[in-house]
């Protein structure tokens, strides 16, 4: 396994290049050099408006959300010692969707107007995500075969289906305008991004950094099996719950802004593991960077492939992520058998 700062530097370069290219692509193409000039503040006035107020918030939001998802997946897989765990598979995403729909339904009046600020919506997503993560965790803990890593995923799948059914019903019962609002959110797209949204995700990421630095030792110890981890002086349960909370929070924050984007939290850590030792401290950073690159690429592809129509970015990530997940299941089985 290669280690060292080189892969991280390479990822940073790819991400920076991707940001410039993605900002340039759109209804009017802007060359990389003009984008760079606009970013540095010495481009033409039109270029600067397009770049700073139209394109960049969206591109930045996609990247940051992807980073949060990648990081969340890496933490989740580490905390559960389960390489197949991913936030979107555990029912968290659909739980967040249910939170959003409930919020829109509960706080709309008869005239279809929201009675509270729309800025509470992320909070509703976070609450829904936590509620369903909690339920999935509860079911798994109550299961006799709880040590089988697949159980957690299966309960996640089951509860996700239930959450989806609730969402559908509430959208039908709820006012039409709100339904379309919710649908737009659920299909997972990054359009209509504002700097405000970017700030929310960035704040979440920034807050998780000191937490992760504080937990750097437990993060390594928790990879060991339970008994050994306890012997090394780790309070396994407490740290596991702490890491799970952090992971769910990051996912919820990301999807509350960009909608249900699936499979990123699953793939990014695996990709990071491919060229970066998972016991190096750069592993989490690598997962985050790859997650950012993935969502940025998916969103850019989704909005340019059939322009002016727009594909939900979540569909693109599912299309790439699902075969990889299958590969993962097959490889795991080969190793076990």
Partner 1 sequence: MIRTLLLLLLTLLIAVIASLHLGVHVYGPATVWQALFGGAESSSEIIVRTLRLPRTLNAVLTGAALSLSGLFMQAVTRNPLAEPGLLGVNAGAAFAVAFGLVLLGAVSIAGIGLLAIGGALAAAALVFGLSGALGPAAGPTGILLVGVTVTAMLASLTQLVLLIDETALETLLFWLSGGFADRPLPLLSIGVGALAIAFTGAAALSTSIDALQLDDQSASGIGVDVARTRLSALTLAALLSAGAVAMSGPVAFLGLIAPHITRRLMAARPGFLALSLLAMLTGAIIAVLADILARLIVAPGEAPIGAVLAFVGVPFLIHLLRAKRLRGVGV
What does the binding site for partner 1 look like in residue numbers (CB under 8 A)? 84, 139, 142-144, 150-151, 153-155, 157-159, 161-162, 164-166, 168-169, 172-173, 262-263, 306, 309, 311-312, 314-316, 318-319, 321-323, 325-326, 329-330, 333, 336-337
Which residue is associated with the tokens 């970015």?
313
Largest CA distance in the chain: 65
Q: How many CB atoms lie within 10 A of CB 137?
A: 18
- Which residue, 57 or 156, is less far from partner 1 as judged by CB? 156
Q: Give CA–CA dist 337/317, Å, rounded.
A: 30
**Distance in angstroms (rounded) separating the CA atoms of residues 21 and 31:** 8
Look up residue 50 and give its DSSP letter. Answer: I
Which tokens in the block code for residue 106? Answer: 């509960």
When the beta carbons of 91 and 282 are compared against partner 1, the nearer one is 91
Residues facing 108 on adjacent strands: 114
How many CA atoms are closer than 13 Å to the CA of 122, on its beta-carbon side?
20
Nearer to partner 1, 60 or 153 (CB): 153
The answer to whether residues 295 and 261 touch, using CB atoms and an 8 Å cutoff, is yes
Taking the alpha carbons at both ends of the chain, their separation in whole angstroms is 24
CB of 6 to partner 1, least distance (A): 33
Nearer to partner 1, 203 or 326 (CB): 326
- Taking the complex as a whole, how short is the minimal distance between the CB of residue 173 and partner 1, in angstroms? 5
User: With respect to partner 1, which residue has the nearer C-beta, 89 or 284?
Assistant: 89
Residue 13 to residues 9, 132, 286, 317: CA-CA distances in angstroms? 6, 37, 12, 22
State how far the Cα of 276 lies from the Cα of 280, in Å rounded to an integer: 7
Residue with Cβ nearer partner 1 (159 or 219): 159
- Judged by beta carbon, residue 171 or residue 200, the one nearer partner 1 is 171
* Type and span of the H or E element at 32: helix 32-39
Q: Is 83 helix (H, G, I), strand (E, B) or coil?
A: coil
Q: Identify which of residues 126 and 261 has a Cβ nearer to partner 1 in the complex.
A: 261
Q: Tell me how far, at minimum, the Cβ of 46 lies from partner 1, in Å.
A: 30
Q: How far is the CB of 83 from partner 1 (least distance, A)?
A: 13
How far is Cα 260 from Cα 327, in angstroms, rounded to an integer? 23
């Amino acid at each position: 396994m290669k280690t060292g700062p080189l892969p991280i530097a390479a990822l940073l370069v790819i991400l920076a290049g991707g940001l410039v290219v993605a900002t340039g692509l759109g209804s009017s193409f802007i060359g990389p050099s003009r984008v760079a000039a606009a970013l540095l503040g010495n481009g033409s006035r039109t270029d600067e408006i397009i770049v700073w107020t139209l394109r960049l918030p969206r591109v930045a939001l996609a990247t940051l959300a992807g980073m949060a998802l990648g990081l969340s997946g890496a933490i989740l897989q580490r905390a559960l010692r389960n390489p197949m765990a991913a936030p979107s598979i555990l029912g968290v995403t659909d739980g967040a969707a249910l939170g959003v729909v409930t919020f829109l339904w509960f706080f709309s009046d008869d005239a279809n107007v929201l009675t509270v600020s729309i800025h509470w919506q992320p909070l509703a997503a976070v609450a829904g995500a936590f509620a369903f993560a909690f339920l999935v965790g509860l079911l798994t803990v109550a299961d006799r075969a709880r040590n089988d890593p697949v159980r957690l995923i299966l309960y996640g799948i089951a509860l996700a289906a239930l959450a989806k059914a609730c969402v559908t019903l509430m959208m039908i019962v709820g006012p039409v305008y709100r339904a379309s609002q919710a649908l737009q959110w659920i299909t997972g797209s990054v359009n209509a991004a504002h700097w405000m949204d970017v700030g929310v995700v960035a704040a979440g990421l920034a807050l998780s950094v000191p937490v992760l630095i504080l937990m750097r030792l437990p993060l390594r110890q928790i990879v060991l099996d339970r008994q050994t981890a306890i012997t090394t002086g780790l309070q396994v349960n407490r740290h596991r719950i702490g890491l799970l909370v952090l992971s769910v929070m990051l996912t919820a924050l990301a999807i509350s802004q960009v909608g249900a984007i699936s499979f990123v939290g699953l793939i990014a850590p695996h990709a990071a593991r491919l060229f970066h030792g998972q016991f190096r401290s750069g592993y989490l950073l690598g997962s985050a960077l790859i997650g950012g690159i993935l969502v940025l690429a998916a969103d850019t592809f989704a909005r340019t492939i059939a322009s002016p129509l727009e594909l939900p970015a979540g569909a693109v990530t599912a299309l790439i992520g699902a075969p990889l997940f299958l590969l993962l299941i097959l490889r795991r089985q080969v190793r076990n058998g």
